[in-house]
Amino acid sequence: MSIFKGAGVAIVTPFNQDGSVNYEELDRLIEFQIANETDAIIICGTTGEASTLSHEEHLDVIARCVKTVNHRVPVIAGTGSNSTETAIYLSKGAEEAGADAVLLVTPYYNKATQKGLYQHFAKTAEAINIPCILYNVPSRTGCNIQPETAVALAKDVKNIVAIKEASGDISQIAKLAYLADGCIDIYSGNDDQITPVLALGGIGVISVLSNVAPKQTHDIVMSYLNGDPATSTKMQLEAFPLIKALFSEVNPIPVKKAMNLMGYAAGSLRLPLTEMEDANAAKLEAEMKKYGIL
């Protein structure tokens, strides 16, 4: 059974003015998401600035999300690391906190071989009992999960059940879908490729766009899955300018700006990320107005 179908939000982590985690605002963001038909909450991912959270903060944020969601939608915790030992530690902590699944990013900087990737993901998954989603984002990690490796992991490790594919390479995703033949669920990791990935047999998206447009992103997926690809395609293309604005600087710089523009106290970013450039912020605000969310 799939962890979820539809649009899961890669939710931001809001910070107070002193840089600490704003747990009350996190609750508010989660309620906004659930009220607007988000199908899953992905906490402490790239968009959640997990790389600048301490291990204690990381697990506290996961636990708070689990408590606030209270089983209304699945909670998927980002617990990947470039250290297998750390990935196991965080994954065990997420399981203990009540997360429904974990999201395991490809080890960054190390640039492991495919054999190394296999062993890293297998050892991490085998240390826990909840489902695991592989996360392939070579533009950020310098490391690409080849389709053959993902399929081997899905066939050999019982709780590796899905992959977030953010390579941007549609041919690679097509090869993955062909080789997998249904043995692994595929989620788009890029908001500008939701409908194309669904056309290749994907079942949803793990989305940055969902932070600001949860209902619309849900509808892009569900209209396709419910037999209306024309509507899905139309909505995908209508969102294209906003998506480009949300990635005009490195994620999550623009989306945190967008959440602040919407009246949420998302706060600033932790270094080395800095505030959005004024020209890009103006373009983002303009696209949000055109899209009808401001």
Residue 186 structure tokens: 């595929």
Burial class (CB in 10 A: 0-12, 13-18, 19+), 278: exposed
Residue 111 designated active-site: no
Q: Closest Cα partner for 58 from 71, 45, 41?
A: 45
User: Strands 40-43 and 204-207, how do they pair?
Assistant: unpaired
Residue 175 designated active-site: no
Catalytic annotation, pick one of 89, 135, 187, 224: 135
> Residue 20, Cβ neighbours under 10 Å: how many?
10
Catalytic annotation, pick one of 118, 164, 224, 257: 164
Residues 32, 11: Cα–Cα separation, whole Å: 11
Q: What are phi and psi of 221, to 5 degrees?
A: -75, -50
Q: Residue 40: in which H helix or E strand, if any?
A: strand 40-43
> Residue 200, Cβ neighbours under 10 Å: how many?
17
Residue with token string 């996961």: 62
Q: Residue 201: in which H helix or E strand, if any?
A: none
Catalytic residue numbers read 135, 164
